Amino acid sequence: MLVAEIEQPKLVRQPKTKEIPEDLVYEIIDGRKLYYKGYKDVLSKKKKIEDIIGGSGLQSFIIQYILEILYLKIGRKSYHFLTNEVGSHLSHKTNLSGDIHIFDKSSLPADKINVNYIDIPPKIAIEIDIRIDLSDEKDFFYTFTKTQKLLDFGVEKVIWIFSKMQKVIIATNLQEQKPLFSESHRHKVYVQTWI
């Protein structure tokens, strides 16, 4: 009688990939996590998390300047001007943040203002500079993807301000130029597109 020994294959343990802390996630688009620019330096202990998550002085100044114009020219009677990385929940596995979101007060009732991300589209979303890691070539079209997601969500205009390039891009689904705000007949603000 011939007996053959069959050797059981050894289980090869896959090396564990280092888990990236949730604190380093800037946004999630379609379930894909996008990390803060500089997150790899935090993982390698070259930087602390506090070094990469804050906005720059220039970004903060641009936001302040825009808010001053909005308060003076538009006022707060009909609109909420929300800042500080406003969280928007667009859909399952898609959460975005924004530098300035402008809401019509009638579209954002008090019961929707809570500790969760806002699930109502702002009238206008303003983004100042890009603060995510773009080292993966899949993220190259980040601005276009985020813009389209916001427009599909119901945002009327998405304004990108790129301080380093000194460029402004305005995206809209609207077919005709309409005033962004018309609280009264005295105040109408139109946006000129510079590309």
Q: Which domains does the chain have, with CATH numbers?
A: 56-180 (3.90.1570.10)
pLDDT computed for residue 40 by the predictor: 92
Banded pLDDT at 128 (limits 50, 70, 90): very high
- Mean pLDDT for 118-129 is 94
pLDDT computed for residue 100 by the predictor: 96
- Mean pLDDT for 112-133 is 92
- Mean pLDDT for 44-73 is 92
18-22, 96-100, 103-107, range with the lowest pLDDT: 18-22
Whole-angstrom CA distances from 110 to 23, 113, 122, 134, 141 are: 28, 5, 15, 37, 35
Whole-angstrom CA distances from 94 to 90, 117, 163 are: 6, 11, 26
Look at residue 175 and tell me whether its pLDDT is greater than 50.
Answer: yes
Look at residue 192 and tell me whether its pLDDT is greater than 80.
Answer: no
pLDDT computed for residue 174 by the predictor: 62
Encoded tokens for 177: 């130029």
DSSP state letter for 97:
E
Cα 157 to the chain's mean position, in Å? Answer: 14
Whole-angstrom CA distances from 134 to 24, 37, 95, 158 are: 14, 7, 18, 20
pLDDT computed for residue 84 by the predictor: 87
Q: How far apart are CA 189 and CA 62, in angstroms?
A: 18
pLDDT computed for residue 17 by the predictor: 52
Is residue 173 a contact partner of residue 189, using CB atoms and an 8 Å limit?
no
- Mean pLDDT for 98-126 is 93
- Mean pLDDT for 76-94 is 92
Encoded tokens for 71: 């308060």
Banded pLDDT at 117 (limits 50, 70, 90): very high
Look at residue 14 and tell me whether its pLDDT is greater than 50.
Answer: no
